[in-house]
Structures are given as structure tokens and as C-alpha cells.
Structure 1
Amino acid sequence: MTQGPGATPHPIPPAVQEAYGPADLGSMPMFAGGFINFGYWQGFDLGRSLTEDDRIGSQLAMYRQALGALVPTEGLRALEVGCGLGAGAAVALEEYGFARVTGMDIHPQQLERARQANSGLLGRRPGRLHFVQGAAEDMPFDDGEFDRVLSVEAAQHFRDLGAFARETARVLRPGGRVAIAGFFVPDAGPARAGRLAELLDSFASGLDVAHTVPLLTGSLERAGLSGVRVTSIGASVWPGWDRWLADAWKPDTWPRNFLRAYREGTLDYFTVTAERPVR
């Protein structure tokens, strides 16, 4: 079925509405630079106090490691699902040579901020960068419209990974590829969700959902995608994130419990890739 532009707006979960609307998560110092991810800290010196430039660099590195899983990218069409403030979409266009990059987000306030933040690039690259409102579970695009799909640290907000996987498979052309970077429960242990709610306010409030990696990979495969690969990158994420917070947040405050959850085996960070087969 072809969806096409103009789908009915999907409801925004209340916690997501607040965090990315009035609360403006991207304006908080812990997410300097507008990327809104925990950062990929491989190669950073974590034995010293980290600077804002380090923080921005770590978030840029997260996008680069995810985009690197999508090469070749030159001249192709890309969709970012959950684009936030558009910083990652801008990197994709400027550094990876896509012919067109579309950033999609469910939150209209985020999209307005993205257009403002990237107004210069929109002017310099007319027709090559777009920001569109839509939900991961109900994308307002035609079948096979994209060669590459990217999602960085957004899947924890999706309420239905099965629908996200089906929509990803639908909007990818045959031979297209998806890369998902995000934090997930590493197994299907029944106590995991409750433990995350104890440790982390974002799970207790409903902002984040305790999705498991087996649920994600199974959803991608059931949607018809193949070659699903999972890589744990938690060792390059959580210690650096915790070191960044250490100068401002005390131990046992909830943002620092991400490292604790990782060390317990309750949560990890992964890159997951898959392809739409050529039939």
C-alpha cells in the first residue's frame, strides 16, 4: 500500500509531548550542540573533565558511526526517523553526499526548531533538505521513496516497533538499507522493564519504553528485511556519558544510573542494521 503525504497526524505520547515541546530537552546543557544523544565517546580522554566541545564532538561521532553503516551514500535519498533539531540530518547532507535528506519527527515544535536551526543550510542547499511531520509507525511517504533510513536515539520513544519496522521496509527501495542506533534491553528478561523504571526517571515517566533487542530484530525480520546485524557499542557510550555528567550531577541521581543499568546488564546501546532484499 502506498501511504503518500498527508497522513492523519499520529497522537504524541504525553511524556514525549512535554519533553520535546515545552521542556525543550535539546536546550538543556547535558545535550549541548543540538544533537540530543548520549554520545559516542571512543577515543575521548575520560580521565579529565570534559568540555562542551567534547560533548558536541561525542554526539557528532554518534551520527558518524551510524551513518558509516549506510555507506555508500553519495547521490542517494535518505530519511531520518526522529530527526529532532535536525543536526544529524545536516551532517548526513554535508558530510555523506546524499542527494536529498528528509528529517521526520512527530513533534511540530521540534520541526519548527529544526527549520530555524538549519535555515542557512536550507538556503544553501535548496530542495536537498526537508523536514516533515510524521510518526515512526505511520510514515507520510510513498513506497520505496528512500535508499537509506536512519534513526539515532529515537526508537526508545516509539510505541510500536512492529509498525516502525513495517513502515521502514515499505519506504525503503529494494536494496535499501536501514541503520538504527539506540538503547535497548539486551534480552527478554521479564524483570527488566520494572528495574529500568526503578533506576531511570525517563522509563518511569513513560518518556522511554523498555524495548528489547530481540523485539527489534524480530520486527525487522517479520517486516521482510534481511541481513539483520546487531552491534553493542555500550562500552563507547555509557562511561563517557557518565563522565560528562560527573561534574554537575551527583552519583545515584537518575541520569547517572544509565551507567549502572549498563553494568547490571539491564540496558545497553546498539547499532542495528538491515536491508530490504532485491526481489
Structure 2
Amino acid sequence: MTQRPGGDPLPMRPAVQETYGPVDLGATPLFGGGFINFGHWDGIDLDRVPTEHDRIRSQQALYHRVLATLAPTEGLRAVEVGCGLGTGCAMALQEYGFAQVTGMDIHPQQLDRARSAHADLPADQAGRLRFVQGAAEGMPFGDAEFDCLYSVEAAQHFRDPEAFAKETARVLKPGGRATVASFFVPDADPARPEQLAALLETFATGLDVAHSIPQWTGGLEGAGLTDVRVTSIGAAVWHGWDRWLSTMWQPGTWPRNFLRAYRDGMLDYFLITAARPAPVRQPA
């Protein structure tokens, strides 16, 4: 459980507890290289069977796509919400010049794995990477603590996007930037949660939640964030993800329905970017 600042403890949903605890999703053949995401498959030949190297490359590429939206990043402080195994945090630190990167995750077992996986960082980097337990809806950080906030394929698990938006606005410095990448419902059709639960086991169990893009943009703007932009990157995600799934799952099995949900307009993969307004400079 994670304590909301000034509020009640926020328990993990059972599906999240199980999937990222005893099941250890990141150790399954679906993922690899210390990442847990569907991947960004641009530039990878999908006419042949993807290799494990292709799979890891796709997951790295998704982080590159996200982190590029935050540039310039040299010397800044960043937090990754839902950091999982922490490999994306280490990448951000090593390749993007952040002064410090904080990985936050709700699951203590994931944090234990992250700390273990990155215990041998060079001394000059070890002090600049930390892992902290916390929930997206109640972050254990001070006001205006970070220049950048990002989240890669974790927001589909968040219980309350509006609360996350308020926390994002709180922990970002004025002028700070945020990017969220994950799969969401593209419209406000109230039938979508039931439709997705019928197609995809992760929605049926409550591991994934059918949050909509209007809900996300409304929450971010309602929290006072500006320059809210939504970009679909599904064309670079879904076909490659399904091609990788085809090496393990037959057509007609539920994981192959992600591509069907995308084609039918029920689900897509998005980058959502926003900023905390900088103070208005008064003329001298």
C-alpha cells in the first residue's frame, strides 16, 4: 500500500499485485532486456519473424520516442511514474544527460528488482538514480521537485487519471514538461470498457483500465497544465506487437485481439504531452 499525501492508503488492485509480483511479467518471453512495453517497431522488418534482439530494440525505441519529447534534458531532474524494472530510468540517465532520474513504482517487488538490476552502475551515475515507492495518484515528492515527468506504458493501470494529472502539476516545476505513453480508448463511447473486456483478458481482470483520451486531456487541462497534445503512434506499435505475439500465440487467442481492437477503433496507442505554465515575466 502507498500513502496518499494527506490521505488514506491506496491499495494495489489484485491484478496489478499478482502480475508485477509473483508472476513477474518482465521475466516472461513476451518482454526482454529489462523492459515491459509493447514496443515501437519503426525500422524493424516485420516481413520476417522478429528476433529477441528486435524485441528489445522495439522497447528501447519506445523510450527514445518518449524521452525525445522532453528535450532538451541536459542537467534536469526527471521522474518516471511506473518505472517497473528501472531500465528506462537508467537509459534516460545515461543517454539524455539528466542530472538525476527518480523511478517511482507502486509495487515493492518491482522496486527490489530495479535496485538489484542497477546496483552496479558506475559511481558517477549511482548517486543520480534512485527508486521510490509511490502511487501515480499520490506521489511521495515535494512540490515543484522535477523538471520532467514521464510514464511509459503504465498509465493504463492508473486508477484515477484526474488525480494523476493534479499530482503531475504539483510535482513539476513551473515550465516543466510531462509525457505519458500508453494505450487508451480514443473516444468517449461509454460502451468501450465492456467491449474491451470481452476481447482482452487484461481489461476483464482489471489489470488494464479503459481510460479515454477525452478523460486524459480533460484531467490534464483541469489540473492547470497547458499545451496538452495527443499524438497517435499506434501504426508503429500494434502491427509489430501482433507480429511478436504471433511467435507465441495462435490467431483467435485473446492477446491477438489487441490489433483487432485497434483496427475497430476501440483502442489506440498515444503520446500525451503537457506542460506546467511558466511564470509570466512582468515588463521592467
TM-score range relative to shorter protein: over 0.9
Question: Is the CA contact (8 Å cut-off) linking 1:4 and 1:141 kept in structure 2?
Answer: no
Q: 2:224 matched to which residue of 1? A: 224
Q: 2:74 matched to which residue of 1? A: 74
Structure 1 residues 110, 123: CA separation in 2 closer, same or farther (over 3 Å shift)? farther
Equivalent residue runs for 1:17-166 within 5 Å: 17-121=17-121, 123-166=123-166
Question: Is the CA contact (8 Å cut-off) linking 1:46 and 1:240 kept in structure 2?
Answer: yes
The structural deviation recorded for 1:34 is: 1.7
Q: What's the Cα RMSD here?
A: 1.6
The structural deviation recorded for 1:162 is: 0.5
Residue deviations 1:155-196, cap 9 Å, x none? 110000010000000000000000100000000011111110
Q: 1:177 matched to which residue of 2? A: 177
Structure 1 counterpart SS, 2:88: helix
The structural deviation recorded for 1:252 is: 1.5
Deviates more, 1:114-123 or 1:67-76: 114-123
Question: Is the CA contact (8 Å cut-off) linking 1:10 and 1:106 kept in structure 2?
Answer: no
The structural deviation recorded for 1:73 is: 0.3
Amino acid at match of 1:44: I
Output the CA distance in 2 between the equivalents of 1:97 and 1:196: 39
1:198 aligns with 2:193: no
Amino acid at match of 1:274: A
Structure 2 counterpart SS, 1:119: coil
TM-score using structure 2 length: 0.95
Output the CA distance in 2 between the equivalents of 1:241 and 1:228: 27
The structural deviation recorded for 1:10 is: 2.9
Q: 2:211 matched to which residue of 1? A: 211
Residue deviations 1:40-84, cap 9 Å, x none? 001110000000000000000000000000001000000000000
Output the CA distance in 2 between the equivalents of 1:105 and 1:22: 16
Structure 1 counterpart SS, 2:44: coil
The structural deviation recorded for 1:130 is: 0.3
The structural deviation recorded for 1:126 is: 3.0
Structure 2 counterpart SS, 1:228: strand
Output the CA distance in 1 between the equivalents of 2:254 and 2:150: 28
1:257 aligns with 2:265: no
TM-score using structure 1 length: 0.96
Equivalent pairs: percent with the same residue? 68
Structure 1 residues 11, 82: CA separation in 2 closer, same or farther (over 3 Å shift)? same
Output the CA distance in 2 between the equivalents of 1:17 and 1:6: 24
The structural deviation recorded for 1:231 is: 0.3
Structure 1 counterpart SS, 2:266: coil
Structure 1 residues 108, 167: CA separation in 2 closer, same or farther (over 3 Å shift)? same
Return 5+ residue gaps in structure 1 as ranges.
none
Structure 1 counterpart SS, 2:110: helix
Amino acid at match of 2:157: H
Structure 2 counterpart SS, 1:95: helix
Return 5+ residue gaps in structure 2 as ranges.
280-284
Q: 1:189 matched to which residue of 2? A: 189
Question: Is the CA contact (8 Å cut-off) linking 1:4 and 1:142 kept in structure 2?
Answer: no
Output the CA distance in 2 between the equivalents of 1:12 and 1:121: 30
Question: Is the CA contact (8 Å cut-off) linking 1:183 and 1:268 kept in structure 2?
Answer: yes
Output the CA distance in 2 between the equivalents of 1:138 and 1:85: 20
The structural deviation recorded for 1:255 is: 1.2
Residue deviations 1:97-154, cap 9 Å, x none? 0000000000000000000111112745132000000000000000000000000000
Structure 1 counterpart SS, 2:151: strand
Structure 1 counterpart SS, 2:10: coil
Q: 2:243 matched to which residue of 1? A: 243
Moved over 2 A (4+): 3-10
Output the CA distance in 1 between the equivalents of 2:9 and 2:91: 27
Structure 1 residues 222, 147: CA separation in 2 closer, same or farther (over 3 Å shift)? same
Residue deviations 1:17-39, cap 9 Å, x none? 00000110111100111210000
